[in-house]
Chains A and B, each alone.
Chain A
Amino acid sequence: MAGLASLTAHELGARYRDGTATPTQAVTECLARIEALDPQVRAFLTVTGEDARRRAALADARFRAGTPYGPLDGVPMAVKDLLCTRGIRTTCGSKILEGFVPPYDATVVARLFAAGAVLLGKLNMDEFAMGSSTENSGFFTTCNPWDLARVPGGSSGGASAVVAADMAPLTLGTDTGGSIRQPAAFSGVVGLKPTYGRVSRYGAIAFASSLDQIGPFARDAEDAALMLGTIAGADPMDSTAIDVPVPDYRATLGQGIDRLRLGVPAEYFTDGMDPEVEQAVRAAIATLEKLGARTEPVSMPHTEYGLAAYYVIAPAEASSNLARYDGVKYGLRATGARDLIDMYSKTRAAGFGNEVKRRVMLGTYVLSAGYYDAYYGQAQKVRTLVRRDFDRAFEKVDLLVAPTTPGVAFKMGEKADPLQMYLNDIFTVPVSLAGLPGVSIPGGFTQAGLPIGLQLIGRAFDEATLLRAAHAYQSVTDWHTRRPALQTGTADRTPR
C-alpha cells in the first residue's frame, strides 16, 4: 500500500472506512519514511515506534468492529517536544530537560489519544520555543525538506518539516510570536495559530503565558479543520482556555468566499521584504478576488511597534516561566556545586543555550525594580494599541490578508545577529499580541523553488472563516499539493 504517507488525514480516514487501508499499514509506512528520511531532515527527537504500532493495532480492531472513534482514529501524527506526553521523554528542545519524563499528558495530547490518533514521536524545536529557525535547539538543527541546507523555520521546525516531508499528515506545534505560521511558510505547509484561549495550554511547557497557543500543521485546510476541532475547547485545567463553543470547522469549509471582505494592511508590505514574496502575496490576493472576495486597504499604524512590544513581554514572561528550571525536581543538575545558589547558577548556565539565556536576561531586566514601568508597563500599553488597530480594521473587513514573513527560508547560520533573527517575526507578532487567529498557507514558490507563505488573519474565535478562505484558495491553486524532492539515502547534514 504505497503512498499512504502522502495522503491527508481526511483521505486516510476515508480509506480506513472503506476498508482499502488500515491504520497499521499507514503507520508502518510513516515509520518507514521516518527511518529513511529523518537522518537527513532531523525532525524527530524521539520516535515512539512501539507505542505507535500498538495504538495502530487498537485502531485496526475498532475499524474492523465498525466502531471507530471518529475522523482522526488511526491517523498518524507527531507533536512538538514542548507538549508533555506521559511516560515519553519531553525535552522542550533543551538540555536542561534532558531525561525529563512527564507523569501526565498535555490536554491536547489526551484529546488526540481519545480520538484514536497515533503518536509517531516528539519533534525538534528551538529551545523553549525561542527562535525562528530551530537552530536554537539544544540538540541539533532540523533541515528544510525543500533545501536541506536551509532552515525549516522555528520554533516549530520539526513539526512543519514532518508534514512537508510526508512523514505524517498532521502535527501539532505552538505559536507565541509566529512559531507555527513562520515555519509553515518556510516549509510550504498549512500552519494555524488559533485565537488565544481557543485551545488548552495545560501540559504545554510555557514560554510566554499570555501569547502561547497550540495549533496544527497540515497539508490542507480540511486537515487543519479536523485537527483544530479535536483539540479546541475549554479545559478545567486551564483558566485561560475560554468556554466558547467549538463549531464544526469542516462543515463550513466549502461555503466559498463570495463577498467576503478582505483587508490588505499597508504596513505589512515593507521596503526590505523579498520582492518574490510580495509578488506571490499580491497574486494570491488577486486569486481571492476572483473567488468573489472584495479587498480594501486598511491601515494598522502600530504594526512597527509590535515587534518591540513583543520582545519586552515575551522575554519577561519567559524569564518567569523558566525560573523553575533549577535542578531541584527534574532535569539537569550541575555537579560539583559548592552550595545551592552555585548549583542553581551552574545548572542553568549549562542547561540553557545562548538565545534562552539572552531572553531570560532581557526578561529579568525589564521586570526588575525601576524598569518595570518604562519597559513592561509601556509594552503592555502598546499591546493595547496594536489590538485596537485590529479591532478598527475588523469593523470594515472580515479577514486580513498579508505575507507571513518578509523573506523565505534562509541558510543555516545566516542570521547570526539575534535582532536580525527577530525581524523574521514582524508580520506574525502583532497577531499574537492581539490574541487573534492566523493561518499561513502555501502561496507560491520562489524561482529557486522555496515556499512562500500567505497569511490570513481573522477575528477572535473566527477560525471557521480563516479555514473557509484557505479552503477556497486551495480549491483553485495547487501550491499545497507540491512536495519536495527528498531522496531516501545517505545524508551528511551537519548539525548546528
Chain B
Amino acid sequence: MSTANTRILIVDDEELVRESLSGWLEKDGYTVGTAPDGAVAITRLEREPWSILLVDMKMPGIDGLQVIDRARALQPATTAVIMTAFATVESAVSAMKLGAYDYLVKPFDPEELSLMIQKIVRQNELIQENETLRRALRRDCRFRDLISKNAGMQSVFDLTQTAARSQSTILIFGESGTGKELLARAIHAESPRHAGPFVAISCAALTETLLESELFGHEKGAFTGASTRRRGAFETAHGGTLFLDEIGDIGPKLQVDLLRVLEARTFCRVGGNDPIAVDVRVIAATNRNLEKAVADGAFRDDLFYRLNVIPITLPPLRERPEDIPLLVEHFVERMSAELGRKVDGVSREAMAMLLDHQFPGNVRELRNIVERAMVCGPGPVLQPADFRLPGAVATPPMLNASLEEVERRHIASILEQTDGNISQAARVLAIDRATLYSKIRKYGLREHADAS
C-alpha cells in the first residue's frame, strides 16, 4: 500500500488541530481529509473509504465515541484512534471497548504519533498482503473444484489440462474419496465438449443387467418390465462426456460390450438390432489395481489398454497432508455460507489432530467430518472434540454384546469410514457386495448410495 493510498480522516472541532495535523501527515505522503464535527465525519465515512480515523473525543453534537461506533458499522476495516485533551481511565476504556486502536492525549509527542501511524499502516499492509496472498494461493491451488498445493496434484492438474483438450479416453486411478468424479467433471469443463452433457454412472452400484440397460438403454419389451423404449447413458452423453466410475467392478460380458462401443463408436440398445452411432468421450475411474486384475484374468487386457490411454493417478490425502489446512479452510468457508453459520476456523489443537489423522476416506471423509463439526460444534472456533474422529473418541465397550451386535456395529463403523462405499466396505470386510447388502438390510443400517 503506498502512502497516498493510506487515507486518514481527521475529525476535530478545532480548526487549528485539523490544519496542523493534516499538514503534518500530508508531508508523510498520506491522503488526508478533515471533518469539523461528527455529522460531517459520518457523511464522509458513508461516501469514501478511510484507512485511519483520528477522532477527537469531545465534540459538540455527535461525540468521538459515537463516530467510532458508526465507523465500525460503516467501515469495519478502518483503524480508529481517539484523541482528547483530557485523559481519564473511563474514557480510555469506553474508546477501547468500541474498538479504538489507541488513545492519544493532546498534545502528542511527535515520535509517538509518527510510530503509531507507521504501526497502523504496517498492520493494514500486512492484513491486505495476507488477504492478497491467501487469494493468490487459493487461485494457484485451484483447478475447478479441486484444491491442492501438493506438487503431485499440481502435476495432475497440468496433465489434466492438457488431456482435457484431446479426445482420448482417460483412466483415473485413486482411492475412494480422492475426487475422481470432481476431476472427471473438471476435464469435461476444460474440454471442447464443455457445452455438451456430462453423464456419470457408478458401475459398482448396479447389477450387471441393470448396468447394461443404464449404459446402452433398451427397446420396448427387451425384458420383463421394459414397457417403454429407454435411452442409455451413451446416448444421453452424446456430444459430451461419459464418466464410468468403479470400472473395475464390471462383469466379463459388459467388458466386451464396452470395448466394442469404444472401438466402433456404435452400439445397440438392449433388445435392439439397429446400431446407434455416438460421439462420446469416455473417462473411466477405479480404486482397484486394474493391472493386477488384468494379470489375474478378472479384467480384459484389451479393454484395459483401450481405457488406459491417458492414465491419471490421484494421490490419497495421507500422501499430501499439506493440503489438509487448505481444504479445511475451504470447507469451513463454503459450509459457513451453506449452513448459514459463521465459523471463524479451526483451533490449533484440532488442526494438529486432523493433520495426524490418516483419512482412509480421503477428502470426502475430511469434508464430512468438517461438516459434522460445523453442525455439532457450539463455538465460532472448531475444537478437537467437535470432530469426533474415529479413534479420538472412545468407543463404547461391547463386553455384554452378542456376536450379532458386534457384527452390526463393526459393519456400521466400516461403512462410516468408507463413507458408505459398498465396494470398499465389502473389500475391507472381506465379503462380497451381495452379502454386505443383505447384512445392511438385516441390521437396518442406512445405505449410502454414493460411490466414489
A binds B: no
Q: Footprint of B on A, CB under 8 Å?
A: none
